[in-house]
Amino acid sequence: MKLQDNDDLETRIIKTFLDILILKYLKKSPLNSGYQILQNLHGALNMPFSPATVYHAIYILERKNLIKCHGDENGRIYALTDQGERTLKSTADSSIKIQTLVDTILSEHK
């Protein structure tokens, strides 16, 4: 596997968990704008994110009532809801299952 393929795989994995990354960030740093979320993801993971990708994830999280928006068209900030908090905890509680699943998938190719 070439280095480019590894980079693509890493990007796909991170995008798969983008919603969890956003929830985790808002738990740690509540009341942030979409731009601040985008900048944090870029800084924390050292990879560029398309604004469309991040804002789409924010939109889906808001529709699922996992985050809520405060503000208007002049400035929107986001915060975790109680349901978002529970989802984040549930995901953290399932982390061993997720790791086991990934190990199972990858161990067949070692």
Interval 67-85: pLDDT, tens:
999 987 778 999 999 999 9
Interval 20-79: pLDDT, tens:
999 999 999 989 999 999 999 999 988 888 899 999 999 999 999 999 999 877 789 999
Secondary-structure class of domain 7-107 per CATH: mainly alpha
d(CA 110, CA 97): 20
Exposed/middle/buried for 22, CB within 10 Å: 0-12, 13-18, 19+? Answer: buried
pTM of this structure: 0.81
Q: Where does the pLDDT of residue 3 fall: very low under 50, low under 70, confident under 90, or very high at 90 and above?
A: very low
* Amino acid in position 56: H
